[in-house]
Structure 1
Amino acid sequence: MPSPPPPAGAADPADDDVALGLLLAVAHARARHALNEALAPLGIEARHYGVLAALARHGPSSQRRLSTLLDVDKSAMVRIMDDLERRGLATRNRDAHDRRAYAIELTAEGRRAAREGGAVSAAVGGRLFGWLEPSDRALLVAMLTRISHRAAGDRDEDGGGD
């Protein structure tokens, strides 16, 4: 399979760190666009699906916990929750244990959207990643995990230690 062209104006990602970072950003943007297009018939985007999937997996959660799980800043989480409530997919109720916090729960329609979004996401994921050999997939996961740790400043977490 031919490699994609480097982003316009970039050097060769094979030997230039900036170009490699730009290529990673382009790959992310294109993958997110593909997922958003596939989720559009459900009336949601990838950012909505991430919250729906987290709630389906973890059960009722605070906005703070969801923000942490999904690495989404607080103001973005508020906007996502506003969208989900407007669409009737989730509700925000005061947490019984902490009246300052909201407990977010899926509605019946939200559970349906999470299931259907999961099927759509699996199909997009299969198209984007299904061609990878298991060893290539494992290597990609390991490398992306290390990049993520380094970006967060967790240099000791990635096994590199330098």
Structure 2
Amino acid sequence: MKSNEQLNNVVNFLLEQTVRQMRGYAQRQLDTLQAGITVDQWVILKIIEERKQISQVELAQVAQKDTASITRILDLLQKKGLTQRIDDEYDRRKYMISLTKDGEAFVMRNLPFVNEIRSQIVRGLSPDEIQNLKSILEKIRSNLGQGSSDVFP
């Protein structure tokens, strides 16, 4: 960042502000469901739904969250009856995470609503603009590499 550049013109700052706004919007919309679920919990449910079974370590990597956060989220989801821990048949120290039948039904029931949230977020963007945005974001992620924490506005 140049010393005379306004913070509102810095890409990192704009991305951070956009992410905060998107998460806030998505959470407000999820709250209208009165399902008692957060954006982070939805993301975890969706990852598990897509993978069918996943280890907690792999789940943390895919979600890009630390294992302590994943444990807290999984504990909450398990109390709600949406996920379950299954012992790993090859390693008794490990277990796999999967959705319960209620969890599968929850995801399927709420997926149209979540897709509507996603559509609202990109409303007004053409398919080409959305694809360009995805490409740009992937380049930025690639520039940062895995686990980079030295980027700031």
TM-score bracket, shorter-length normalisation = 0.7 to 0.9
DSSP 3-state at the match of 1:93: strand
Matches of 2:7 and 2:57, distance apart in 1: 40
Coordinate RMSD, CA, aligned: 1.7
Alignment TM-score, normalising by the size of structure 1? 0.79
Matches of 1:116 and 1:57, distance apart in 2: 15
Identity of aligned residues (%): 23
Letter in 2 for 1:35: A
Given that residues 53 and 118 in structure 1 are in contact (C-alpha distance below 8 angstroms), is that contact kept between their aligned partners in structure 2? no
Task: Tell whether 2:12 aligns with 1:21.
Answer: yes
Among 141, 144, 149, the residue aligned to 1:148: 141
Query: Would you identify which runs of 4 or more consecutive aligned residues in structure 1 move more than 3 Å?
Result: none
By how many angstroms is 1:49 displaced? Answer: 0.8
Among 92, 97, 109, the residue aligned to 2:90: 97
Residue equivalent to 1:86: 79
For structure 2, the residue ranges without an aligned partner over 5 or more in a row are 1-5, 148-153
By how many angstroms is 1:104 displaced? Answer: 0.8
Alignment of structure 1 residues 7-156 onto 2, 5 Å? 10-13=6-9, 19-40=10-31, 41-152=34-145
For structure 1, the residue ranges without an aligned partner over 5 or more in a row are 1-9, 14-18, 155-162
Larger relative contact order (C-alpha < 8 A, sep ≥ 6)? 2
